[in-house]
């Protein structure tokens, strides 16, 4: 039942001008799911023109009205949650309870952004002069280009697209070519709620032919990107050269600290969920456990048990607990890190190889993997693997644990398990990541708090939460002088 899909440009469904297409495959079964336009710079240009054409009308639509549209969209997403979750599982592999969560984040984000339509607060402040009035307001920037990854094919685009639209920008969206169907569904939902033509556009295709022309297009004012550091760095460099606003969300190497006073069984469950959920393909995935030597062996034993008990398979099937990696490239990458682990003298306590057997042979399945004897500076403890692999680093104290956690090129999420309130507050103060959890794993950020990280994880921006509009608005300061005189500020007002 493979279907043919199209781009959504200026309110119309159109193929790529070149007529080229690509296939969308199910990573669990290898089945063909659909054919999508393999677009190029010409299609992108059409979409940017449509977005620029709709800009003025959309900016002049009152923000509460823009918000109402997002509210209706949220309701529609909620109604279609199961259909959307199944589509997401089919095209990227994670299990249904996780794709339901992914879609639910879209609902939450729609309601959050909708409410913001009736706030969008500016700041008023007194003027330093008599009979003069001053305030500052947020204004939209123009056309926002959105480029996202496949691991959260619904939630992450909504963190960017909903605030951008609410603020009065128009959007051109390039979904990941691994998850194009979710991009199609989002456009279809916007069409159904009656979003005016050109306000939201989708162009399918790869990074080279669509993403890069989007970064370079003079009609795109802001680029919001979630993906790898290598690509993010290129976008930042090019964006700086062209004077664009660039918001980047990139990798993680998230650590869970487990102290000797922790509930070890709780920590083991959290580590297993954080490391193997979404098959480890989250930027917030737990990839390091920084554990006090007194509870190390007990924790390793419990996490290994949980890893070995996980049922792998097609995420649409009942009882399956972990789906496949998204494609063969990821399989090569994760397998490659097993060689690195061996070279570094790390012990593979469980897993370490492709998973095979009934129902697994046509998919990209990898065994849940636990590495022990990892040292803080090893490549397996420093580089993002993006698979179901977690490494244990043994430490002797809280200070050492915090130092180990902080010494990576990334700074997205971290966590501490402890029953000592002083240790918890010390960690909250000293862990240098954008998100810190206490007695909770590294995944599961909520949409109404800022999302993002330090160091190589980003470039200072935070998505969602009360920071959701920052990447997508400029500040405008307004002064009104009603004194009837020329009043001169600062230097000569005595």
Asked if 146 is part of the footprint of ligand UN1 (rule: CB under 6 A), the reply reads: no
Stretch that binds ligand UN1, among 151-159, 174-182, 211-219, 265-273 (CB under 6 A): 151-159
Q: What distance in Å separates the CA atoms of residue 40 and residue 53, rounded to the nearest whole number?
A: 20
Work out which of 36, 58, 152, 212 binds ligand UN1, going by CB under 6 A: 152
Question: Distances in Å between the alpha carbon of 480 and those of 65, 120, 138, 319, 484?
Answer: 27, 21, 17, 65, 11
Q: Are strands 132-140 and 473-481 parallel, antiparallel or unpaired?
A: antiparallel
Closest distance of CB 337 from ligand UN1, Å: 18
User: What is the rounded distance in angstroms from the CA atom of residue 169 to the CA atom of residue 161?
Assistant: 9
| Of residues 7 and 286, the one with the C-beta less far from ligand UN1 | 286
| 176: contact with ligand UN1 by CB under 6 A | no
Residue with tokens 């393909």: 281
Beta bridge partners of 139: 474
> How near is the Cβ of 249 to ligand UN1 at its closest, in Å?
7
Q: Is 445 in the site for ligand UN1 (CB under 6 A)?
A: yes
CB of 156 to ligand UN1, least distance (A): 5
301-339 b/e with 16+ CB inside 10 Å = b? Answer: ebbbebbeebebbbbbeeebbbbbbbbeebbeebeebbe
Query: Per rule CB under 6 A, is residue 151 in the interface with ligand UN1?
Result: yes
Residue 283 bears catalytic tag: yes
**Applying CB under 6 A, which of residues 115, 196, 444, 450 lies at the interface with ligand UN1?**
444
Question: Looking at 177, 283, 321, 344, which residue is catalytic?
Answer: 283
Nearest residue (CB) to ligand UN1, 115 versus 444: 444
**Closer CB to ligand UN1, residue 417 or residue 451?**
451
Return the number of the residue (196 or 444) whose C-beta is nearest ligand UN1.
Answer: 444
- Strand pairing of 435-438 and 170-174? unpaired
Residue number with CB closer to ligand UN1 (10 or 444): 444
Selected catalytic residue, list 105, 116, 249, 344: 249
330 is a site residue for ligand UN1 (CB under 6 A): no
CA distance 470 to 447: 15
Per the rule left: phi > 0, alpha: psi between -120 and 50, beta: everything else, 247 is beta
Q: How far is the CB of 398 from ligand UN1 (least distance, A)?
A: 24
Cβ nearer to ligand UN1, comparing 61 with 439: 439
**Binding string, residues 183-222; x marks residues near ligand UN1 by CB under 6 A:** ----------------------------------------
First to last CA, the chain: 79
Task: Give the up-direction half-sphere exposure of residue 18: CA atoms within 13 A in the CB hemisphere.
Answer: 16
Q: How far apart are CA 145 and CA 444, in angstroms?
A: 26
| β 413-417/254-258 pair status | parallel
| Contact call for residues 451 and 239 (beta carbons, < 8 A) | no
Q: Considering beta carbons, is residue 53 or 450 the nearer one to ligand UN1?
A: 450
Query: In angstroms, rounded to a whole number, what is the distance separating the alpha carbons of residues 244 and 236?
Result: 9
Give the span between the Cα atoms of 364 and 383, in whole angstroms: 21
Among 39, 286, 443, 459, binds ligand UN1 (CB under 6 A): 443
Window of 10-18, 149-157, 237-245, 423-431 that interacts with ligand UN1 by CB under 6 A:
149-157
Q: Is residue 156 near ligand UN1 by the rule CB under 6 A?
A: yes
Angle at CA 210, nearest 5°, toward 186 and 164?
45
Residue whose tokens read 């330093």:
128
* Per-residue binding letters, 265-304, with ligand UN1 (x by CB under 6 A): -----------------xxx--------------------
Residue 340: phi and psi, rounded to 5, are -60, -45
- d(CA 252, CA 442) in angstroms, rounded, equals 10
How far is C-alpha 419 from the chain's CA centre? 31
Part of the chain binding ligand UN1 (CB under 6 A), chosen from 190-198, 400-408, 443-451, 461-469 = 443-451
Residues 386-425 that bind ligand UN1 (CB under 6 A): none
Restricting to residues 218-247, name those near ligand UN1 by CB under 6 A.
226
Find the part of the chain contacting ligand UN1 (CB under 6 A) among 150-158, 187-195, 208-216, 414-422. 150-158
Q: Shortest gap between Cβ of 77 and ligand UN1 (angstroms)?
A: 16
Nearer to ligand UN1, 373 or 444 (CB): 444
Nearer to ligand UN1, 151 or 158 (CB): 151
How far is 227 from 235, CA to CA, in rounded Å?
A: 11
Q: Does 160 bind ligand UN1 (CB under 6 A)?
A: no
- Burial (CB count <10 Å: 0-12, 13-18, 19+), residue 482: exposed
Residues near ligand UN1 (CB under 6 A) = 151-152, 156, 226, 282-284, 443-445
Enumerate the active-site residues: 249, 283
């Amino acid at each position: 039942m493979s279907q043919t899909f199209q781009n959504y440009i200026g309110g119309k469904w159109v193929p790529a001008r070149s007529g080229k297409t690509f296939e969308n495959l199910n990573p669990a079964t290898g089945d063909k799911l659909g054919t999508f336009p393999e677009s190029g710079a010409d299609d992108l240009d059409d979409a940017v023109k449509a977005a620029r054409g709709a800009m003025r009308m959309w900016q002049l639509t009152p923000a509460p009205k823009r918000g109402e549209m997002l509210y209706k969209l949220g309701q529609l997403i909620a109604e279609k949650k199961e259909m959307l979750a199944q589509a997401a599982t089919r095209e990227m592999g994670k299990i249904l309870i996780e794709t339901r969560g992914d879609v639910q984040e879209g609902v939450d984000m729609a309601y959050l952004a909708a409410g913001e339509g009736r706030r969008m607060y500016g700041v008023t402040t007194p003027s330093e002069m008599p009979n003069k009035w001053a305030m500052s307001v947020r204004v939209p920037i123009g056309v926002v280009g959105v480029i996202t990854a496949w691991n959260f094919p619904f939630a992450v685009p909504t963190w960017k697209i909903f605030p951008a639209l609410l603020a009065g920008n128009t959007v051109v969206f390039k979904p990941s070519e691994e998850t194009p169907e979710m991009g199609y569904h989002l456009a279809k939902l916007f069409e159904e709620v009656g979003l005016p033509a050109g306000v939201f556009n989708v162009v399918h295709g790869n990074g080279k032919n669509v993403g890069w022309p989007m970064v370079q297009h003079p009609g795109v004012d802001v680029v919001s990107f979630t993906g790898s550091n290598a690509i993010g760095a290129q976008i930042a460099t090019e964006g700086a050269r062209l004077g664009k606003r660039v918001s980047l969300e990139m990798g993680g190497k998230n650590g869970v600290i487990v102290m000797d006073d922790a509930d070890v069984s709780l920590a083991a469950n959290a580590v297993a969920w954080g490391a193997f959920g979404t098959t480890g393909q989250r930027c917030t995935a737990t990839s390091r456990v920084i554990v006090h030597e007194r509870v190390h062996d007990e924790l390793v034993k419990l996490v290994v048990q949980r890893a070995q008990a996980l049922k792998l398979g097609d995420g649409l099937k009942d009882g399956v607990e972990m789906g496949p990696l998204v494609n063969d490239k990821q399989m090569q990458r994760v397998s490659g890190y097993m060689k690195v682990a061996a070279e570094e003298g790390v012990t593979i306590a469980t897993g370490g190889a492709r998973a095979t057997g009934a129902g697994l042979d046509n998919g990209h399945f990898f065994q849940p993997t636990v590495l022990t004897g990892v040292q803080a500076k090893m490549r397996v403890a420093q580089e993002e693997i993006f698979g179901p692999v977690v490494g244990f680093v043994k430490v002797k104290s809280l200070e050492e644990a915090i130092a180990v956690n902080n010494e990576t090129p990334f700074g997205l999420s971290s966590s501490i398990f402890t029953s000592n309130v002083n240790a918890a507050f010390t960690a909250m103060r000293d862990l240098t990541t954008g998100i810190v959890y206490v007695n909770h794993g590294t995944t599961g950020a909520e949409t109404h708090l800022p999302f993002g990280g330090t160091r190589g994880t980003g470039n200072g921006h935070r998505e969602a939460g009360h920071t959701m509009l920052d990447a997508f608005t400029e500040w405008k300061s307004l002064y009104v002088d009603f004194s009837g005189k020329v009043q001169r500020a600062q230097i000569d007002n005595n």
